[in-house]
C-alpha cells in the first residue's frame, strides 16, 4: 500500500511539470514532448515511495550503492533505476542486476564489462553515451572527438541498446556558455545520425538549466532538487 504523496512533494512535481511544459511552448515545441527523469539521489527510499504515488516509476541515481539500498527497500514496487553518475567498472555487476538504463556510459572498458554481466543475467538495457561538452575537470564523459569511434565499437555489445546522448552543461552564470554545451550535444547527435546511428534521445538539462536545454532540443531533462528539495 502506498499512501498519497505529501502535498509539498506533489506541488513541487506539478510545478516542475508546468515549467517544463512552458519551456516547450517557449521553444515552439509541444508541451509534454519532453520527459522528466526525477533524480532521487541522496533522498531515501521512503521519499521515493512517496513519489511513486504521483505516478513516477523511473528514478535517476548517481551511486550504485544507493540503487542497491533503495531497490532492496522498494522491492514491492515496479521501479526502473537509471544510472546517471560516473560508473566504476567494478560496479558493472550490480548495474547489470538492478538498473534499467545507464546514461553515463563513457568508455569501452565499461561497455564490455556491462555487456558481459548483462549477458550472464540474460538481459539488455538502454544506454546513453555521456559526452563531455564542458571543460570543467569534474565533468566526465567521452570527448566529442572520440564519440564516433566509441559509438562504432558499441555495436559489438549486443546487450546494450544505444538510444542517445547525455551531457552535463558547464556550471556558469552565462546562459550562452550553458546553452553552447547543449547545442554541441544536439549537433553531435545530428552528425552521428548522418553516419547511421539511430539516436533519438538527448538527455540534457537539470533543475537550474532545463529551459535552455529544452530550447536546444532536449528530449528529457534530469530534475532533482526542484522536485525533491535541496540536498543536504
Q: Is 159 in the site for ligand PLP (CB under 6 A)?
A: no
Q: How far is the CB of 95 from ligand PLP (least distance, A)?
A: 15
Q: Is 87 one of the binding residues for ligand PLP (CB under 6 A)?
A: no
CB of 184 to ligand PLP, least distance (A): 17
Q: Which helix (H) or strand (E) holds 61?
A: strand 58-61
Radius of gyration of the chain (CA): 17
Three-class SS state of 7:
helix
Instruction: Tell me: does residue 229 bind ligand PLP (CB under 6 A).
Output: no
**Alpha helices by DSSP H, 77-205:** 92-98, 108-121, 147-154, 175-194
| Cβ atoms within 10 Å of 83's Cβ, excluding its own | 27
Nearer to ligand PLP, 139 or 197 (CB): 139
Write out the binding residues for ligand PLP, residues 4-43 only, by CB under 6 A. 39, 41
Give min distance, CB of 221 to ligand PLP, in A: 8
Residue 114 sits in the site that holds ligand PLP (CB under 6 A): no
Q: Judged by CB under 6 A, does residue 164 bind ligand PLP?
A: no
Among 168, 169, 185, 212, binds ligand PLP (CB under 6 A): 168
Instruction: Give me the half-sphere count of Cα atoms (radius 13 Å) on the Cβ side of residue 103.
Output: 24
In the 8-state DSSP scheme, what is residue 89? G
C-alpha cell, 54: 504521483
Q: Give contact residues for ligand PLP (rule: CB under 6 A).
A: 39, 41, 62, 84-85, 168, 206-208, 222-226
Amino acid at each position: 500500500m502506498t499512501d498519497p504523496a505529501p502535498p509539498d512533494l506533489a506541488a513541487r512535481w506539478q510545478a516542475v511539470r508546468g515549467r517544463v511544459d512552458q519551456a516547450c511552448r517557449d521553444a515552439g515545441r509541444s508541451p509534454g514532448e519532453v520527459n522528466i527523469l526525477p533524480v532521487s539521489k541522496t533522498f531515501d527510499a521512503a521519499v521515493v515511495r512517496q513519489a511513486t504515488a504521483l505516478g513516477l516509476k523511473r528514478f535517476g541515481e548517481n551511486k550504485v550503492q544507493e540503487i542497491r539500498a533503495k531497490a532492496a527497500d522498494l522491492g514491492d514496487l515496479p521501479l526502473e533505476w537509471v544510472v546517471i553518475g560516473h560508473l566504476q567498472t567494478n560496479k558493472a555487476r550490480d548495474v547489470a542486476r538492478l538498473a534499467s538504463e545507464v546514461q553515463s556510459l563513457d568508455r569501452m572498458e565499461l561497455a564490455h564489462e556491462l555487456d558481459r554481466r548483462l549477458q550472464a543475467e540474460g538481459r539488455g538495457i538502454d544506454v546513453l553515451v555521456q559526452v563531455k561538452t564542458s571543460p570543467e575537470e569534474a565533468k566526465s564523459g567521452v570527448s566529442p572527438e572520440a564519440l564516433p569511434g566509441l559509438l562504432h565499437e558499441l555495436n559489438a555489445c549486443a546487450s546494450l541498446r544505444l538510444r542517445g546522448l547525455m551531457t552535463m552543461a558547464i556550471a556558469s552564470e552565462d546562459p550562452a556558455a550553458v546553452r553552447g554545451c547543449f547545442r554541441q550535444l544536439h549537433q553531435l547527435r545530428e552528425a552521428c545520425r548522418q553516419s547511421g546511428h539511430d539516436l533519438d534521445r538527448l538527455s540534457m538539462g537539470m533543475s537550474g538549466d532545463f529551459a535552455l536545454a529544452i530550447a536546444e532540443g532536449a528530449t528529457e531533462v534530469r530534475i532533482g532538487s526542484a522536485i525533491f528539495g535541496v540536498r543536504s
